[in-house]
Amino acid sequence: MRLPDCLKPRSITTQITGIVAASVVLGVVLTIAILFLFDGAAPKKGPSAAVERVVSITLLARSAASPAEADAIIDTAQRAGIDVRRVRLENLETSPRDISPSFLSRLVVHQLKSFRGIEVIEGVRYPTGPDHQLVVRAGEHTALIFGASPGTNLSGFKWRFILAPTALMLTIVLVFLLLLSLYGVRWIIAPLSAVADAAHSFGRFPGQEHMIDRRGPREIAQVTDALNDMRTRIRSLLDDRTRMLAAISHDLRTPLTRLRLRAERVVEQELRESMLHEIEQISHMLNETLDYLRQDARSESMSRIDLPSLLQTVCADFANVGHNVSYEGPGRLTWTCRSTALMRAISNVVANGVKHGSSVVVNLRVRNDGAAEIDISDDGPGIPTALRDKVYDPFFKVDDARSTAGDGFGLGLSIARDVVKGHNGEISLLDRLPAGLTVRILLPAAGESRMARQRHAAGPVATATSLAQP
């Protein structure tokens, strides 16, 4: 049965307080129920048993025919483990303090006073007796001195009547608190985890985004509303940027086309070729810039591909135009990714390699944790360590460390990094020995890759395939 909305706690504080209060109440109720159920079956070891022994010994001592018989009764009680002795009243002295300070002694005295014929003498003590004494008149001139609570195990009483219920109640309360806390954490934290997952996946899986469900405590619902509003505004900004890029692309390509047509009419060949080259450079820069700015607006879905085939295709494209590019790695490996985006990222890195070196090697291997590791190595001049973080910035070029070909715009690694991050992967720059640079792309394991890894382990194909044309 579900609670009405008006009775549901709204805030996290109220919910946590309710969990703790419910745990304490249930623990106390269950403790009381257990004590009531099992108290009747337990043997009497508390004040009632002590009172019975005091009354029995006192009545036997009073009914003794002679002092010797009374002493024999006392000796028998002492051998039974009861701390009792028979003294004359004149040997008692006034006690400067309460002779029965403990709760147990007061309880015994209170119960003894309800028995007819039993007289408890308070305010006196036997000088050489135990610290805690119970003095009961045994005759006209004699008294019985009982140590503490006669025949009662005081520690046992405390355990049964004080410590045991307390320990039981605390244990039950803690168990209830733990169980309810586990449920409460799931109840309270689950909406927050959903918010975190939705925020983490925002922009990573285009086409699969949805509004976060508004549920949970009031504070989390407020965060959910704020995030949904932020997502809506961000998506609106991205859509506006997409439309703006489309307009810019159209507006810029039109005059470039007119310039190209006019340049082709130039009679002087050297001037014509120079103008066409500059126009082509501008067009290429425009295309790269627009493609980079469109990265967030793309909605390519994830698909299963053969990763070695994709890498071999990239290598073949460069080899077909005369570059020395080779692939090393397994022959087959099924992977889930955005194939078009990943191919572009790999192509950008390989393009940098062939631009600044004479050969490039693309190596694929599967790590022990199941991740795919793609190393793209060239034999160029490399990149200084101090500048490796900056090369990911758009339009940044390392002219001093790399060659001065001048035909790049500093967007290749920026695009590659964004694509790899879109796959929850990592990209890093490493030194290649004896010279050159290695760009390492790490793609996290996908569920589909496990079967492929098993096939690869059963029959690996790890030959180096050179795709460079002779």
- For residue 290, what is the domain's CATH number? 1.10.287.130
3 within domain boundaries: no
Q: Are residues 395 and 462 in the same domain?
A: yes
What burial class does residue 380 get, using C-beta atoms within 10 Å of its C-beta: 0-12 exposed, 13-18 middle, 19+ buried?
Answer: buried
- Domain end call among 295, 328, 361: 295
Is residue 1 in some structural domain?
A: no
Residues 246 and 329 in one domain: no
Q: How many Cβ atoms sit within 10 Å of the Cβ of residue 417?
A: 20
What are the angstrom distances between the C-alpha of 97 and each of 101, 119, 295? 9, 20, 90
Which of 266, 295, 324 is where one domain is finished?
295
Give this prediction's pTM: 0.49
The answer on 124 and 105 residing in a single domain is yes
- Per-residue model confidence (pLDDT) at position 427: 92
Query: Sign of the CA dihedral 265, 267, 269, 274?
Result: negative
The number of folded domains in the chain is 4
Q: Per the domain annotation, does 208 fall within a domain?
A: no
Same domain, residue pair 141 and 162: no
Instruction: Compute the mean pLDDT over every residue in the chain, rounded to the nearest whole number.
Output: 76
85 and 231 part of one domain: no
Flag whether pLDDT at 470 surpasses 50: no
Full domain range(s) for residue 20: 9-43+156-198
pLDDT of residue 9: 58
Q: Give me the phi and psi of 44, to 5 degrees please.
A: -80, 120
Strands laid side by side in the 133-137 sheet: 84-88, 142-147, 133-137
Q: How many CB atoms lie within 10 A of CB 415?
A: 21
pLDDT confidence band for 327 (50 / 70 / 90): very high
Strand-pair partners of 325: 360
Taking only the tens place, the pLDDT of each residue in 23-61 is: 777 777 777 776 666 554 444 444 567 788 888 888 888
